[in-house]
Amino acid sequence: MEEKIQKCTQRWDTDTYEAIAVEVLEAIPFEYPGSATEVAYIYPEFTSVCPWTGLPDFGTLTISYIPRDKLVELKSLKYYLNSYRNVGVLQEHVVNRVKEDLVRLLDPVSLTVKGDFRPRGGIGTEVQADYRS
């Protein structure tokens, strides 16, 4: 007897890029411009979703930068990163989008965003995007 294999067609709704809350990002003054201070924020609870299936992606984002005259206010950064929670976005695009948004906000000397995403389908992903002024 031939068994039929059912394909899973389940899909969860996803938010679009418009749900990314760029407007919550705030900059605060950096009192030591020109000091070549490197700042790093590590966010081990980043989540977004696969744009095709809506299944969750989990990862650690590391944002490191040399500020010119502004820092990102941490509560606003947390709200911004949490706004990705249900956004259907590729992991490679997350890292570049975060980099672009923070460069626009801060005008840093340099900025790097690294994403270390948990395996999905047996493959983990590491992505890095760099900005140098």
Which residue, among 85, 19, 98, 11, has the nearest Cα to 48 in the 3D structure?
85
Q: Which of 15, 50, 101, 116 is catalytic?
A: 50
| Cα-based angle 72, 75, 76 (whole degrees, multiple of 5) | 60
What tokens appear for 62 in the block?
A: 């590391």
Clarify whether 15 is annotated catalytic: no
Q: How far apart are CA 83 and CA 77, in angstroms?
A: 10
Alpha helix ranges (H) inside 1-129? 74-82, 91-106
**Which of the residues 8, 13, 57, 107 is marked catalytic?**
57
Q: Is 8 an active-site residue?
A: no
Q: Active-site residues: which are they?
A: 50, 57
